[in-house]
Structures are given as C-alpha cells and as structure tokens.
Structure 1
C-alpha cells in the first residue's frame, strides 16, 4: 500500500503542470459560435433550449467571479484534471503503474487539450463525467460524500446533452451497491431505477430556468427528412412554396451535417429550418411527418443514417472532407480571443496532425470500446469498485457513441470527446490485467477483430481516397 501511495504526489504534480500548460496555451478560452450564443444568454440571464440552459445558467453564476470565457475554461480544465488524477491514483493503488502512465498520457493528448481549451458543452460534459468516474474509482471507506458527489455530477451532466443518458447510466449503475447488480433481474431493475433521474434532469432543469422553446428538436427531423428525400429520390417535406423541392433538396443535402438546412450558413437551403418549421409545428405534426417518412422509406432512412454515421465517426472517409478542430475564437462583440503564443501554436499544430491519425478517428475508439465490453461485459466484477468503473467507462463510451447513429446532425470530433476519453481510461485500467484476457478464445477474437478491421478499413479508405 505504501509503495502505491508514494507516487501519488507525483501524479498531482504532473496533473497540475499539465493544467497550467493548458490554461497558458488557451487563455481565456476559444469562443465558437455556440459559445458566443451561450455567453450572450449567460450575460442576459434569459435562456432558450437550443444549447443547454443549465450550462448557460452556470456561466451566468461564474460571471460573478470574472467576465468572459476564462471561468468556464478553468472549470472545464479542473474537472478534467481532477477526474484524470483520481483514475491515475486508482491504477496506482492496484499496482498498475503503466496503466496510470497511460491515463495521464491520453488525458494530455493534443486533441484533448484543444477541446478542453474550447468552451463547449462537450468538454464540460466530458470533464464532469470523468470526475464522477474518478470518485467511483477511488472510494472512501469512511465517508459517503464522494459517492453522493458522483451522483450529483452524473445528474448534472445529464442536463448538458440531450443524449447524455446512455453515457451517464453505466456510471450511475456502478455507484449502486453490488447486491443490487448481483442477478440479471436485479441489474435490470437497478438500471430502470437509475434511468429516471437522468431522463428527468434535462427537462426539469429547462423548466426551472424557464428556458424558451427554440425548436432545436426540429434540426434532427429536418435533417432526416432531407436525407430520406435524397436517398429515396422523393419529396417528404411538408408542402412549401419552394419550386422543385426534390432538386433543391438534392443540392442541399450533405451526409456530413445539416448545416445547409439551418439559417446560419453562407448559402442556407430554400427548404430548411426557416421554411418548414411552421408547417412542421402545425398541430404538432413534426414527429408525425418524420415517422411517416421513415415508415414509407425505411431503406432510404437507413442509407442516410449510415452515411452520416460514417462521417460522424470518421470511418471510411477522407479527413480533408470533414470539419477540423476549432483553433481560434469566432468574431464576437466582446472581443474575446486567445492571444497568439508558442504553446498554443505547438499544441494546435500537433493536434491537427493527430486528427488525421487513428487518435482522431472515433470509429477506432468505438471499436476499442466494443472490444473492452466483450472482454468484461458486466459492470459487476470481482475486484472492487475499480473493476466496476473500468467496465462502466467502456459501456458508457460505447452506448454514448452509438446514440449518435440515430440522433446526430453534425460530424465534429468534439461530439466523441467523451467516447475517446472514457475508452482510453477504460483500456488503461483494464488491458494490463491478466484476468481480463482469461476468457474463451472466441471472446478474445471478437474483442480484437473489429478493432483491427476498422483500423485497417479507415487507413485503406484514406489511402485509396
């Protein structure tokens, strides 16, 4: 035990240094268009639900300490660093020095540093979940406060993304007493019970903050209608005054994102949010139109969803055809921007290069998460809480990533920040343990095969593209 505890101050020192480098390189934080809109609502104290009102409200509170993006940058960095440190300590307590090193190295990857340096709900989400995982991995024998803190963090994280439940649920289940997960029936009942606060978190937070309805849910409906129409060679939008809607939609649709259907693009589509929101909302018809189009053209819907998921996970694509990382603030009325500095240039240069490698291809991380789940399929494992958190992280990464198959409308790597983070931490905690590999051969093959196939497929697509 003493030999495991001695390196802990070194972990704390390394985490502190990495955080200081992060803050120095990206101060006061990169402000994208999303963050600019969110900060405007944080300043006014009036919220809508296009971006998480809970985050905007939190930002409003942080403004009492300092204006601008800096407080949110510090919060993101501290959450992420704290979770990383706790997971690294958990590995040390099990005698997994190399696992601890791997956790620290993955957390300090250039892509992660750029995403943490950007004010994003995805970065806040990843940091919040990582700290919750760390609190689970290093439990206190005498105090229940870490466990309660982890529960609060998970429910708070559920207010940050509409598809947060798949990511939060495995970690919340891992917090429950082992007896609650001992049999399939108990595990199922526990999971159903845990779903309730996670599902209610977002709508209750929005209601408490009196967030106005923005119609954000129509982005998915409109994008799916556009995709179905494109692959079915039909018009499935509600009636509009747009002439030749099939031809217009063919020119507007992209499997990369729905942006042409939005109002903020340089060339917004004639059929888009501004055009069809009124007929879709009439008599609550949006989901009726959406469901009817899927039923009428199921194969076209599947083609559209698979084509988009391919881009979203950067699988059989060319990296140059997809959005890169946000490396600088967009113009904003407050003038917030990251001042040029050598640290920033170095990190962003390496991160841009890494994005064109398997480190920046979510498909490879999803395959690895699948492999980890195959090797350790259940959250209830011998070996205490750390065994639980490693499996929970793998499940969380996989389920969250797969939620983007039916629900995504864009293809930025930031959407998979949590999947990459959780998979890396789970692999570091899991793969160095001999008992993990003491499974039937078919399971080892099933765990490794998809990782190799997707990695080779991703490379081949880029070489031959």
Structure 2
C-alpha cells in the first residue's frame, strides 16, 4: 500500500457521502420551465428540437426506473461528483494534495450545488465533461478503455448543446494517442477529424429520434435582427404589418435576453417569434435576412453582440439587473417540488450571495482561462489541465456570437473546467517558467477584468 492510498480511500468515501447528502438536500430535483417542457416530452415519447431530444429520450428511458425528476437528478449528480472524484484521485496519485483539496473545495461551490440540484441540460453537460476529463486524468499511459469510454461520453455530450463542439473538442483531442499530436500539423489534422463526430452528433441524434423542427434556430436570428435594428435605428426585419417597427423594436429590445420576442413572456413583443416565423421563411430565408442586416449595419451588429456578451458574462453590470438562480421548482401538472429543508435554504442563500461576487461572474473565469492558456497552451502532451483550459475558454467565447440569454448556468462548464485547470496548473513551477511577457499577458487581463467588474458594480 502506497503512502497516498489512505488519502485516496478517504477522499473517495468523503465524496460518496457528499453525493448522498447533495441528493437528499435537493431531492427530487428542481424543475424549471425548461425541465417541465422536457419532462412532458419524456412522458409522451414525442420530441421536438427546442431542447435536446437526446436528453428528453434519456429521461424517457429513466422513467423505467422511476417517474419524475429524481432519476435525472441522480444521473447529473453522479456524473458531476464522479468526474470530480476521478480528478481529485488523479491529483492525489501524483502527490498534488493542494490541488486535490482545491478541486474538492471548488466542487462544493454553492452555485455548483444549486445548478447540479436543478434539472438542466447545462448541468448534465458539465457533469458529462467532468467525467470525461476525470477518465483522461486517471488513465494510465497507453490505457485504451478509459479513453474510449471518455470519447463516447464526449460524443454523447455533444448532443446536449448546439455549441458543444468548442467545449468537447480539446478534451477529445487530448484523448487521442500521443503520436497523433506529436507535431503541430498532426495536432491540426486530428483536431479537424475529431470535430467531425462532434459536429454530427446533435443533428444525427435529432434525426434518429424523429424530432420535430421547432424553429429554435430562429431565436438567434430574431434576436440579432432586433439588436442590429436597435443599435442602427433602422428596420432590419422582413416586411411586417406592424406600424413603425423601429419604434416597436426599441421598446422590446433588451441586451439581457431575447425573451420579449418569445411567446412565454408576460408582455410578448408584437414583433416576435409568432409574427416573424412566416416572413423569415420568405426569400432569402432566415439566414439571408440575417446576412443582409449584418452587411448593412456591421457596427450595429457588433454593438449588439458585445453589449449582450457583457450581460451574458456579467462584466460591466449590476448583478441586481440580471436573472437569478432558480431556487424552487416552477408549477407543474405533476406536482414535483423540492421540500423545504434548512441545508437547502442555507445553500441557496450562499449561492445567491456568491453570484454577486467574482465566483459568479463568468467574465472573471473567462479571463482566468485565457491566462491559463497563455501560460500552458500546448495540447500536444495530452495533459488534462491544458485541455480543460482550452475547453473552458472556447466554450465561453462561443457565446459571443451565439447567445440569446444571460444566465449563470450557461457558463457552468466554463467555471468548473477553469477551476480544475487552475488548481492543477497554478501551483506548479513549470507553469510559470515562461517569459515575463507571457506571465504579464496571463495576469494583466485577469486583473483588469476583475477590477473592472468590481468598479462597475460600485458606480
């Protein structure tokens, strides 16, 4: 028995107990409106593509175990804590006790506890990627099966989000044999090849499940047309019956989210999803209208995207103006709800408070991920930490052109992956054995974004 074995056994026991307590505190799982809609499709077995059909199908299968959100809660939490345990054990096996303790503490973040306790594709996605990263970290050199299982998990995770590829790709590349990554040309080639199954995963899953087209892609088109029109003071929509669409749009647009253009808000915009669906289908089609608006008003489009990304990442904002975490189940026809308990109340209070600190500001985590990539950019050695840093950064940046809403849950994976990567990298001397200009490039942007975020909230 090695000296590290007792520590490994103790860590495994502690995290299994944490999993049990976590499940008990949030049982049977918080059901938001998204989860309610998804569970309805899981019950009926009929899917559309507004939310990932693969997750709805999985939930349908889990109903053979038990009805309601509980089986999905168990799956989410098991993936999250299972991945955390593997990463923690890998650190202990390498004698990195400080890194292991940091990974465990970060995993206990109240924000993470609430998000994992809420039935969300974002939580399922983050849990799956943590498990894949843990398998990569724990796999002995040359071991195939842990890597094969991790690769399958990543492809499955790619069915859960339309922007999953940037998050999954660095991890999938790191799983490949070292010889495939030995030179930059080989690394580039394997990156292109590895992207293929990730890109195909979502459309193939939707086709296999005969998911009905919902027009979900129009949400981005509509929001970009609205934002471009708002900042250009021009009519960027297809011809509509609405009188003075510029003025109407001015009253509807919010840099926080597209929700006023959807049908579920308390006061839907007259220029919204229902009114635009048919006009957008006319020539040149939704993306043709989008390209026309972008070509006519590129600066306005950039203003819209940057302003929304600022809210999405909670950078130069006031936290009170942005959406909060969901702490209770929304009303649903099955009556599923989480019973009140003191531990959940305490955890929820801490989570809400944490969102108003750098722990809940994605901009700071993105800056930290950028710094880690600057310090340790190479994916050629197959290490899990650089792969996590790249995954966190690329996934976060995908929201710059693709986001339509501003909630912390969208950046759950970026926060979790950056935290683990920082725990593994920042305590190593080799990480800082780089030229001073690279050290500055890693540290200065993080410090500037952190200080800018704090200053914006004090104004």
User: In 2, distance between residues paired with 1:119 and 1:368?
Assistant: 28
2:203 pairs with 1:208: no
Which residue of the partner structure matches residue 82 of structure 1? 82
User: In 1, distance between residues paired with 2:283 and 2:39?
Assistant: 33
2:269 pairs with 1:269: yes
2:454 pairs with 1:463: no
Superposition pairs of residues 379-458 of structure 1, within 5 angstroms? 379-381=379-381, 385=382, 388-458=383-453
User: In 1, distance between residues paired with 2:140 and 2:435?
Assistant: 35
* CA shift digits 1:162-201 (9 cap, x unpaired): 0000000000000011111111110110000000000000
Which residue of the partner structure matches residue 364 of structure 2? 364
Tell me if structure 2 keeps the 8 A contact 1:228–1:304.
yes
Per mean C-alpha deviation after superposition, the further-off stretch among 317-326 and 237-246 is 237-246
What is the total number of aligned residue pairs between the two structures? 459
Which residue of the partner structure matches residue 130 of structure 1? 130
Which residue of the partner structure matches residue 32 of structure 2? 32
What's the CA shift for 1:432?
Answer: 1.1
Moved over 4 A (4+): none
Tell me if structure 2 keeps the 8 A contact 1:366–1:397.
yes
**What is the DSSP-based 3-state SS (H/G/I as helix, E as strand, rest coil) of the residue aligned with 1:460?**
helix
What's the CA shift for 1:144?
Answer: 2.2
Which residue of the partner structure matches residue 182 of structure 1? 182
* CA shift digits 1:72-126 (9 cap, x unpaired): 0000000000100000011111111010000001011100000000000000000
Superposition pairs of residues 237-252 of structure 1, within 5 angstroms? 237-252=237-252
Tell me if structure 2 keeps the 8 A contact 1:135–1:147.
yes
Which residue of the partner structure matches residue 318 of structure 2? 318
Per mean C-alpha deviation after superposition, the further-off stretch among 164-173 and 274-283 is 274-283
User: In 1, distance between residues paired with 2:4 and 2:441?
Assistant: 34
**What is the DSSP-based 3-state SS (H/G/I as helix, E as strand, rest coil) of the residue aligned with 2:56?**
helix
Tell me if structure 2 keeps the 8 A contact 1:18–1:108.
no
What's the CA shift for 1:146?
Answer: 1.1
* CA shift digits 1:392-415 (9 cap, x unpaired): 000000000000000000000000
Which residue of the partner structure matches residue 288 of structure 1? 288
Alpha-carbon spacing, 1:335–1:399, altered in 2? closer, same or farther (3 Å): same
**What is the DSSP-based 3-state SS (H/G/I as helix, E as strand, rest coil) of the residue aligned with 1:400?**
helix
User: In 1, distance between residues paired with 2:226 and 2:164?
Assistant: 25
* CA shift digits 1:298-329 (9 cap, x unpaired): 00000000000000000000000000100000
User: In 2, distance between residues paired with 1:391 and 1:155?
Assistant: 20
2:14 pairs with 1:19: no
Tell me if structure 2 keeps the 8 A contact 1:91–1:97.
yes
User: In 2, distance between residues paired with 1:338 and 1:199?
Assistant: 36
Which residue of the partner structure matches residue 375 of structure 1? 375
Tell me if structure 2 keeps the 8 A contact 1:24–1:343.
no
User: In 2, distance between residues paired with 1:432 and 1:24?
Assistant: 35
Alpha-carbon spacing, 1:372–1:142, altered in 2? closer, same or farther (3 Å): closer
Tell me if structure 2 keeps the 8 A contact 1:47–1:210.
yes
* CA shift digits 1:114-166 (9 cap, x unpaired): 00000000000000000000000000458522111101100000000000000
What's the CA shift for 1:17?
Answer: 1.9
User: In 1, distance between residues paired with 2:77 and 2:41?
Assistant: 22
5+ unaligned residues in a row in structure 2: which ranges?
none
**What is the DSSP-based 3-state SS (H/G/I as helix, E as strand, rest coil) of the residue aligned with 1:205?**
helix
User: In 1, distance between residues paired with 2:170 and 2:218?
Assistant: 29
5+ unaligned residues in a row in structure 1: which ranges?
none
User: In 2, distance between residues paired with 1:14 and 1:372?
Assistant: 29
What's the CA shift for 1:3?
Answer: 2.0
**What is the DSSP-based 3-state SS (H/G/I as helix, E as strand, rest coil) of the residue aligned with 2:3?**
helix
User: In 1, distance between residues paired with 2:5 and 2:261?
Assistant: 55
Per mean C-alpha deviation after superposition, the further-off stretch among 455-464 and 140-149 is 140-149
User: In 2, distance between residues paired with 1:323 and 1:213?
Assistant: 28
User: In 1, distance between residues paired with 2:4 and 2:392?
Assistant: 28
Tell me if structure 1 keeps the 8 A contact 2:4–2:95.
yes
User: In 1, distance between residues paired with 2:252 and 2:402?
Assistant: 19
**What is the DSSP-based 3-state SS (H/G/I as helix, E as strand, rest coil) of the residue aligned with 1:6?**
helix
**What is the DSSP-based 3-state SS (H/G/I as helix, E as strand, rest coil) of the residue aligned with 1:3?**
coil
What's the CA shift for 1:452?
Answer: 0.5
**What is the DSSP-based 3-state SS (H/G/I as helix, E as strand, rest coil) of the residue aligned with 1:51?**
coil
Tell me if structure 2 keeps the 8 A contact 1:89–1:138.
yes
User: In 1, distance between residues paired with 2:33 and 2:284?
Assistant: 30
What's the CA shift for 1:254?
Answer: 0.2
User: In 2, distance between residues paired with 1:302 and 1:143?
Assistant: 46
What's the CA shift for 1:439?
Answer: 0.6
